[in-house]
Every structure is written in C-alpha cells, then in structure tokens.
Amino acid sequence: MKLFKSKRSTNAHPARNRKLFGIGLIGFTLLILGGFVLRFSFVATVGEVDSNNLAKQRQKQYRTDTVLQAQRGAILDRTGNVIAEDSNTYTIYAILDKQNKNGDKPDYVTDKAKTAKVLSRYLAISEDKILARLNPTKKHVFQVEFGTPGTKLSLAIKKQIDAEKLPGIHFRETPSRLYPNGVFASHVIGIAQAQDKGGGLTGVMGLEKQFNTVLAGDNGYRRSETDAYGYKLPNAKTKLKTPVNGGTVYTTLDSGLQSYLETLMTDVQTKYEPKALTAVLMNAKTGKILAASQRPTFDASTGEGLGDMWRDSLVEDNYEPGSVMKIVTLASAIQSGKYHPNEYYQSGSVKLDGGTVNDWRTGGWGSIPLSKAFPLSSNVGMVKIEQEMGAGVWKSYLDKFKFGQKTGITLPGETNGRISFAQPLDQAITSFGQGIEVNVMQMMQAISAVSNDGKMLKPQIVSKVVHKNGKETVYKPEVVGQPISKETAAQVIDAMRHVVNDEDGTGVAYKMPGVDLAVKTGTGQIASPQGGYLTGDSNYIFSVAGIAPASDPKYVLYITMKQPQKMTEPAETILASIFKPMMQRALDTTANGTVSKDTNTADVPAVTNAALTTAQDTVKKAGFDVATIGTGNKVVQQLPASGTKALRDSRVLLLTNGAMTMPDLTGWSKSDVLKFVQLTGKKFKLVGDGFVVRQSIAKGTLLGDASGTIEFKQQ
C-alpha cells in the first residue's frame, strides 16, 4: 500500500516541474530582452558603444582625409640665389606582369628591346643592362627597378621619359631637398631628410637643423565623406585646411666666393690628402661669413661622402690653434702695458716649472729683442711676454676674448673649447696656442677684434629669416666685447705686416704683389692618445690667418690644415695655394659685393631650366665659354651658379636632362675639371697639375658608376 502511494506521488511532480521551468524560461527571456532594450535605449540616447562614439566611427568609416603637403622653405645666399629648396625626385620602375592592364590597354612592358634603348638615353645605365633587368631570371616577377641610376630622377627627366609613352613604365614620387650647387658649404647648410612615414622632411644638420621650425611648413588636409567606391556622399561637405609653406633663411654666404673656395679646397684635398681642412672668409667690419668650407665634405645633392663626416668642423671640433694664437697674446700684452718690444731675451729654449719650452728653430736666433718674437714666431719670446703680463692678467684677457665660451653663431653643436691653466707650464704654453682648445669660429671672433679697431664681432652666418607668417627677423652685426683699443689693434696689424714682409718672417710665402697684407702663421702640435704630442713633419695642424687690406681691413681669411698625408710641398706653399687666390678674389670684390671695374669679370647668367640651344647662346653672349654634359635638350644644372661673378672667357658647365655622357676634357684646367666632378658627382683620379692631356673615359661614353683617370700637364 505504501509502495502504491509513493508511485502516484512521484508521477504528480513532472507537470509542476514543467510549469516552473516554463515560468523561469519566460522570465529569463524577458530579462534578456529587457537588457537588450535598455542597451539599445542607452546606445540610441548616448551614441556610444564601449566608449566609442558611433557618430565619429561612422564619420571615420566614410571620411577620406588627404594630406596637403606644405613646402619646406628655402635657404638662400646673401643675394637671394637658391642654396636649398624643396623638390620631388622620382624612382622609375617597369611592370612586367602581363595581367596588368589599364582598362583595355596593356600596362606592362610590351617591347623590352625598344624600352631598353629609349631608357638608356635618359639613365646612366647601358642598354644591355636595362634589357637584362627587364628579363629577370626569376619567374613571375611583377615589376623591376634599375638600381641607383633609376633613383633620384628630376622632374625634367621624368617628363622626358613620360613623353616617350612607354607601356609599363611608371614612377614613384618622393619628397626631397634640392641642393643645386652640390658641394657648397655642405656642413654649414646641412641636409634635410625624410624622418616619418608621411614623407615630411626634417633638418638633421647645419642650418637645416638649426632653423628646422622656421623652414618646416604646416601641412593642410582635405576631408570629405565618400562611399565604399570613393564617390562623394550626397549633401556631404568638404573641409579644407590650406597648408602653410615654410619660411625662408637668408645666409651671409656669397655664392661666387663660396664656389671658388670649394674649388681651391678640393684641389688641395686631392693633391695633398690632409686629414682635415677648413677655411673661412669673413667681412672684417661686420663679422658676416662670406665663404666657409671643410674637408672631408659631401655632395648635398647626391649624399656622396656624407658617411665619412657628419660633424661641422667649424664649430664642433676642438683643436690647439698653435702660433696663430700669438695674435691674441701680443694684443693682450700691448693693451695691458706689459709689452716691451726693445727688451732683449735669449731665444732657443726656456726652462719652466714642469718642463722646457723650445723654439721651432733649433738653437733659436740668439739674443734678440721681443719685437722680433712675433714675426719669427718664437715660442720662447711669447713665454717671456706671458710671464711679464703675469698669469692673472693673461687669463683675464683670454676671458675678454671669450675663449672657453661658445660664440653663439647660429649653427648647431658648437663646442665651448677648453683652457688648461692650473700649472705655470700650462699657463705659459697657452701663449703660443698649446694647452688651449678652440673651434674655428672662436678664432674668427678673436681676430675680428684686431680687424675691427678693437671691437670684437660675433661671427654671423644668417642675415635674415622670413617666418611662415611673413614676419621678418633681421640679424645685424653684433659687437660682443672690446678687449683691446683701436691703437692696440693697429699695432698688432703692423706686427702682422712684418710676418709677411720681413725676409726672416714666417709668412713670406703669402706675400701678394700690390696687396697690403697682415698675416700670422701657425703650427699647432697634435695631442697623442698615448700622452704627449705626435712627432713627424706632417703631424701638425698648419694654419694661417690674414687680414687685408691691412690699412683698412675688409676681409679676414683663416685656413687650417691637419696632417697632410702627401706633404710634397712645405705647409706654407700648400696653404698659400688657397690663401692667395681666395684673398685676391675677395679683394676684387668690394664690400657691397660688386666686382671692381678693373677686373675682367662678368655676371654668370641664369640658364637652368632653359632650352639647351638658348642657354648656350646666352652664356656665350655673356662672354663665357660653354661646355655641355649630357645628351638632353634642357639645362637642369649649371656651374658656376647664376648671379655669381666669373672671369670672362672662363668655362661655364651646363648639365642637361639627358643621359650623362663624358665630354672631351682636353685642354681643360684643373679648376674646370673639379667643377665637372662636382656637377656630375662622379669619381675620377686626378693625376698631375696644369691642363688635361689625357682622359681614360672616351668622349661620348655613358658615365656609369665606373671611375676614370684624368691626367694633367703644365703647358
């Protein structure tokens, strides 16, 4: 009986369970549905999902943003000639995939032989090599490029190739910086390179870096709403932000003087192979730098040589200046009243606490007056003068001349320099330029006090900046101190005259007929990593500083040369091969930049971008000879640059948009050949001096990557 009742009770539960389950399911469904309703209500009301704004997401989905690239500002010389400006370069490539079409027309290379023949006229690569690239060994290659000769092509060359209408030939555009003068104060001007995916250019050296915020423009954009196929949506508005182009930097450089200096520097670098070479030409009354260069250097238009030296030696390298420092020692002694020119001293050597100082001439010159110490460049005499001043007075003048401090020139990376002054020996040797480290611009600043009646000028490389908003900042000559008087400056200049005019003076090699010249030479020792100083005839920093005309200074020229590896001539002879022609060229130019009437010079006309025949006629009518490089019909670059002065009947080189071919160089001077090397960016071995008598690459040969030899002989 109990068993029967238990069975009936068990059978009654399923119905009730089903009912409870149904109620629970309905409740759960209503709860989920309520959650969805609340969620949808929240999304509809607030317009956000997981903190993402739906309206903005929709805008992003249908919005198309196009960057409108701003132009980077230009860098100009003092008369407005372009040194650096914005440009685009192009890389050529060829599509080989036969499935690629443009509509119904094939968009691949259909005639490889014809394509190779045509492209060989515009690229520095042979027809055979182009054809080999168009027939790769690998199968299923979609496209090919043509190596270095197919990159960094100008717009002019691109247009010429486009005009040939070759199927499958395309170009990839790259924002770039155009440096039309090639090797031209390269470390001073610097370079700008692409630093981000957007292709924007950023200055990474020199003025390009120093004034990057001025030169860099502000990109704009065009924003519109389109569908998935790129069509503009109905009633959609287009938002436009106009780009703002970068500002302009005007330098103090004179293109004519700068180009000439580069030619002279390259000649010395090629012939004597110094480890370092610097030269700066400055206006003696304003501090404006008219020309400045260094070696090693690089071609800013191609980048060749950039890997060898990134530092601007003029401001970033410290060195012991040697005897040019005696200008400052003598000036300080005269100004302090501690200079006694008629007092005699025993030259040759002098013992000091900590060591012995020797004259460069073994045994010295016997007992001589202190007035002879400067023209003879006697170290012992300078020590005598320093001791009569006293270390305290001498150090005060080093401070007045601002050694150990940056000049503040508008170039990045300038060093402070360093003065060792703890011990009597340290104090003494600073009098002749050892134990003190300077940079080139610090020496230019110090010498300016002598050339400018005692008022010391800050070296100036920028004359004006025009900002993006049109506002101008003008950099005026800046007097940064007056360490000496006008009378002292005149006495120092007179002593510098003796260096070049006295028979036993150390600067006789720099004498220039008809030029009132004041000079001081220098031979600075180089510290050895093992301690002490290096030994050997060439292990010095040789230098010369000159002021002309001495009676009314207009120019200061300072040159340094470190460790010439092929010292086949005396250091003075080597430096004079730059100093004398450079100073003469400067003196032929008046202070305001015009050439004196008695010089046989003329303005180089502007023919870049002109048709070749027109350009040739224009150059000839201006009084110059003309040489053409390349097979094109349009001029893309010229040397000397337009607006500069050059001797009549001298050679003007024109680079065309066609394939770069070898001209007949027979009879060309070395300076003309150096311009040719600079313009083409090709490597040549130059043998001998004088004029070209032989070239290893025949006239008309395509200039590829191979280097050649050019031989010179005196006529």
The residues that are catalytic are: 323
Give SS3 for 678: helix
Cα→Cα distances 486→335, 450, 453, 454, 519, Å: 10, 8, 4, 5, 18
For helices 326-336 and 440-451, the axis angle rounded to 10 degrees is 40
Q: What is the distance between the terminal CA atoms of the chain, rounded to a whole angstrom?
A: 144
Map 648-676 to HEC letters: CCCEEEEEECCCCECCCCCCCEHHHHHHH
The Cα–Cα gap between 405 and 301 comes to 34
Q: Which residue has the tokens 């100093």?
A: 579
The Cα–Cα gap between 575 and 683 comes to 24
The Cα–Cα gap between 192 and 205 comes to 7
- CB atoms closer than 10 angstroms to residue 420: 15
The Cα–Cα gap between 266 and 281 comes to 16
- The kind and range of the H/E element at 634 are none
Phi, psi of 162 (to 5 degrees): -55, -40
**Which tokens go with 444?**
């230019």
Cα→Cα distances 369→431, 461, 537, 692, Å: 17, 41, 29, 51
The secondary structure of 8-48 as a DSSP string is HHHHHHHHHHHHHHHHHHHHHHHHHHHHHHHHHHHHHHH-E
| Of the candidates 592, 611, 703, 708, the residue with the CA atom closest to the CA atom of residue 657 | 611
**Which tokens go with 328?**
């400052």
Task: List helix spans (H) across 486-544.
Answer: 486-501
For helices 571-587 and 255-272, the axis angle rounded to 10 degrees is 170
User: Do 675 and 650 meet the contact criterion of CB atoms below 8 Å apart?
Assistant: no
The residue type at 32: I
Q: Which residue has the tokens 């010095």?
A: 540
